Chains A and B, each alone.
Chain A
Amino acid sequence: MTTPGQDKVKVRLATTSLAGCFGCHMSFLDIDERLFELAELAEFDRSPLTDIKHCGPCDIALIEGGVCNTDNVHVVRELRANAKILVAVGACAINGGLPALRNKLDVNDILTQVYRDPRTGEPCVPNSPELPLPLDMVYPVNEIVRVDYSLPGCPPSGDAIWKFLTDLILGRMPRLEYSLLNYD
């Protein structure tokens, strides 16, 4: 990690969205025109905002969403293996969030309830090998890999994300004042 002005090496930032709604990524973009300032300090690695599909060594990884299928597990591990600092962003990454409401349900019943042939009424659950296997529950990220920071909120506001990221990038201890902390 470097201080701007010291040299031209930028912080590499990876982001991913798992079982979430993309709202944390939208909130990230709610830093609005500060995005251009961020571009001076950091460059993207793997992120749904870029076409880099797999992560290389990077400084910070932001994870939105809980872990709901085998693909998610691979992605989380890939980011953990490559990132110096891994951040669980938002309610779903931290504790499963709203999608974890499914954890109390028997998923087999649900699958056959949702996927039925409209004419015969028979269950027809998608089963192609191309589809990743769902997990029995939606897991918080920290049950799969070690998490260095958790940034709460549904979603954390653009201001909170900005404060947190700039603290981290500029080498300060990340600190969010009360007004930036939301547990909604």
Chain B
Amino acid sequence: MLNLETAQSPHKLRRVAIEPVSRVEGHGKVTILLDEENRVHQVRLHIVEFRGFEVFIQGRPYWEVPVTVQRLCGICPVSHHIAAGKAMDLVAGYGPLTPTAEKLRRLLHYGQIVQSHALHFFHLASPDLLFGFDSEVSKRNVVGVAAAFPDLAKRGVMTRKWGQEVIRHIVGKRIHGTGVIPGGMNKSLSVAERDTLRGEVDEIVGWARESVALVTQLYETNADFYKRFGESRSNMMGLVDSTGALDFYHGGLRAQDADGGPIFDHVDYTTYQDVFEEETKPWSYMKFPHIKALGAENGSYRVGPLARVQVCDRLSTPLAEDERRKFVALGHGKPHHGALLYHWARMIEMLNAAEMARDLLNDSDILGTDLMADKGPRRGEGVGVIEAPRGTLFHHYRVGDDDLVSYCNLIVSTTNNNQAMNEAIRAVAARFLTGREVTEGLLNHIEVAIRAYDPCLSCATHALGQMPLEVDIVDADGALVSRGRKG
């Protein structure tokens, strides 16, 4: 592990900031401290905003939570909708979902994975990979991609559109709809809606295959660079079903170490508080979680596509599983840790989600009208966990007898990747910045490593607060004259 988190004597160093980090969701900045010879001494990714969902959700009725918490994130509102819904299924006292309700939730989720992964790759990250990390700033965006590679841009836009349409047909709106309710779903899918989506799904699967091929091709142009860029060894985690296949909607937690050895497997996610611990660092509003048993030093882990496709035994659909095997085989028995390989894993997952959506659209249960589970006694607590597009997402609530939320804890996907992203940018800074004059293009290398993780920094800023602002006025001898305090 590179030790570039904190410089020994920061006051002698020059500060360079990337502010704001762009083509990511939310608010982040990077600060780098360099000495006179441009040697890197400190690199940090700061999350600079907080909003406070965990706190202001307290006192709200539990049934509105799956709708309100969507506002954590406009890219993957469905993730929070479903995770909170799963927690509230338990709180409201419901038993197992009906087959139709579970399949509708899965279809909704797979639609979201398609749209989110397409958005991330085509709209946000692809300009770096297609034009080069230090290409012209004015062209390094989705409009530039559309001008230079119109077919590719169109494919990306239309893939995302289909995912968004899946969401709209199930929850009524593309962003912040309502579909998941405690115990099931509030609306069935009509034959016409199903037929519309089914009519397009083969094309989407085809485009997803082409997207995997594109990333593979990009990798092959400079395999060694792709493998090593932003490489940082870490533990990895994801949800798997009882057979070891990746499951985005439900499963047990599996974690592996940097060499692929087991840390834990099939852990019941409702016990997550026994397994993980979150640390706070003074320079970021985003916490640093780690596996408790391994300690803060060695226990950090990464989540999301690169972790998921490597910790699982297989993917449940043939085309995606075939691609996954090819991807894993390149490691010759060792896990991949390079940041850019996230893109490849992400496109494999997009194919997997498209194939699973196709299977569901061909399943007659999807048109069922039995949407609500049987209800038992109300419970005081519920934990809901899913694999969101960006990684494992935890929602945990306690609800009083008055039906009002009394406790809320969220570990969002991006928070899990906090340490991994910091390590990745330190690796990039040490490799590319050292001893060179800092240019915009070089700084974009740092952002490329962050983007690869597809961070959702809005999600990650759920913790609320206000800095207590205190101003001391002292006289020339340092004695306190007056103290002003705000907040």
Interface residues of A (CB under 8 A from B): 17, 19-27, 29-30, 32-33, 35-36, 39, 43-44, 47-53, 68-69, 71, 97-99, 101-102, 104-105, 107-108, 110-111, 113-118, 124-128, 130-136, 154-155, 157-158, 184
A111-B465 contact in complex given A49-B23, A127-B282, A154-B71, C-beta closer than 8 Å: yes
- Checking B50, B74, B123, B158 against A134 with a beta-carbon cut-off of 8 angstroms, the contacting residue is B50
Q: Is the CB–CB distance between A22 and B463 below 8 Å?
A: no
Question: Chain A contacts of B70 at CB under 8 A?
Answer: 21
Q: Is the CB–CB distance between B74 and A110 below 8 Å?
A: no
Distance in angstroms between the alpha carbons of A74 and B373 in the assembled complex: 50
Q: Is the CB–CB distance between B26 and A22 below 8 Å?
A: yes
Interface residues of B (CB under 8 A from A): 19-20, 22-27, 29, 31, 44, 46, 48-52, 54-56, 68, 70-75, 77, 119, 123-124, 137-138, 140-143, 146-147, 150, 153-154, 157-158, 160-161, 164, 173-176, 277-285, 287, 444, 447, 456, 458, 463-469, 486-487
B440, closest chain A residue (CB):
A51
Can you offer 14 A-B residue contacts whose CB atoms are under 8 A? A29-B160, A30-B174, A33-B154, A39-B147, A50-B141, A53-B22, A69-B49, A99-B52, A102-B51, A102-B56, A114-B55, A124-B280, A124-B282, A155-B176
Q: Is the CB–CB distance between A105 and B52 below 8 Å?
A: yes
Closest CB-CB distance, B137 to chain A, in whole Å?
5
A110-B55 contact in complex given A35-B142, A48-B23, A118-B277, C-beta closer than 8 Å: yes
Question: Chain A contacts of B19 at CB under 8 A?
Answer: 53
A131-B52 contact in complex given A30-B174, A51-B140, A51-B444, C-beta closer than 8 Å: no
Q: Is the CB–CB distance between B280 and A115 below 8 Å?
A: yes
Question: Chain B contacts of A127 at CB under 8 A?
Answer: 282, 467
Distance in angstroms between the alpha carbons of A115 and B211 in the assembled complex: 41
- Checking A32, A69, A154 against B176 with a beta-carbon cut-off of 8 angstroms, the contacting residue is A154
Question: Chain A contacts of B284 at CB under 8 A?
Answer: 126, 128, 131
Question: Chain A contacts of B164 at CB under 8 A?
Answer: 30
Q: Is the CB–CB distance between A158 and B174 below 8 Å?
A: yes
Distance in angstroms between the alpha carbons of A142 and B456 in the assembled complex: 27
Q: Is the CB–CB distance between B143 and A71 below 8 Å?
A: no
